Chains A and B, each alone.
Chain A
């Protein structure tokens, strides 16, 4: 069935360093890949998304890459800051109001 695998489950980086979270998806029909950030007790917030016709997308310190052939996609956060500490979820969808399949999450901690 449809599945999204995410790793690592926890990640601790020094403030100012980069963080990378990797995901794989199983359904080759997936064409929309959002990333959500969820702080403790709060709603998942969309931070960046990428569609299958694009290989890379960047928004300030955040970038996402997609390899359709390998069915891999990754989130890169550069120059990490304390407010980047949260749980990050990758997800995959067939787009156009389809359901979203989430990964299991990565708890990112930024060490001062």
Chain B
């Protein structure tokens, strides 16, 4: 049983560009959450998707958007990239109605 997977593992972009990150949840998990982890800090909640809709959102600008597909996989899109968007982006999945979240390996984004 594969755990949470994410792609790509690393990405380099320049300011102003757009990026799409992908996540496949653990088998049987229907809820996907995205977090941003800056160097030396704890993960910060971006948003959560359930039944293909954004259910909760953290304190991130509209440049951050997402999508969930019928197979529960999810995408995170960031537009108009800023240098400060450089971080490790983590996806976590959970079972229906469960609080426990399991993390993927993350995508390390560097914005130059």
- Residues of A near any B CB (own CB < 8 A): 6, 32, 34, 36, 42-46, 49, 89, 91, 93-105
- Which residues of B lie under 8 Å from residue A42 when comparing CB positions? 105
Which single member of B35, B40, B99, B102 contacts A97 (CB below 8 Å)?
A: B99
Q: Which 4 residue pairs of A and B lie closest in terms of their CB atoms, listed nearest first?
A: A102-B42, A95-B99, A32-B99, A99-B45
Known A-B contacts A43-B104, A44-B43; the reply to A99 vs B33 at CB < 8 A is yes
A64 and B41 CA atoms in complex are apart in Å by 22
Q: Which of B61-69, B72-80, B90-98 faces chain A?
A: B90-98
A94 and B40 CA atoms in complex are apart in Å by 25
Q: Do B90 and A100 touch (CB < 8 A)? A: no
Which single member of A44, A97, A104 contacts B94 (CB below 8 Å)?
A: A97
Q: Do A100 and B101 touch (CB < 8 A)? A: yes
How many residues on chain B are close to A (CB under 8 Å)? 28
The reply to whether the CB of B106 lies closer than 8 angstroms to some CB of chain A is: yes
A63 and B40 CA atoms in complex are apart in Å by 25
Q: Do A103 and B42 touch (CB < 8 A)? A: yes
Q: Do A97 and B42 touch (CB < 8 A)? A: no
A-B contacts, 28 of them at CB < 8 A, read A6-B42, A34-B99, A36-B103, A43-B104, A44-B43, A44-B90, A45-B103, A46-B102, A49-B100, A91-B42, A95-B99, A96-B97, A97-B50, A97-B94, A97-B96, A97-B98, A97-B99, A99-B48, A99-B56, A99-B58, A100-B92, A102-B42, A102-B43, A103-B42, A104-B42, A105-B40, A105-B41, A105-B42
Q: Do A89 and B42 touch (CB < 8 A)? A: yes
Q: Do B104 and A97 touch (CB < 8 A)? A: no
A73 and B92 CA atoms in complex are apart in Å by 23
Within 8 A of A (CB), among B28-46: 31, 33, 35, 40-45
- Which residues of A lie under 8 Å from residue B48 when comparing CB positions? 97, 99
- Which residues of A lie under 8 Å from residue B90 when comparing CB positions? 43-44
- Which residues of A lie under 8 Å from residue B56 when comparing CB positions? 98-99
Q: Mark B2-33, 1 if CB is under 8 A from A, else 0.
A: 00000000000000000000000000000101
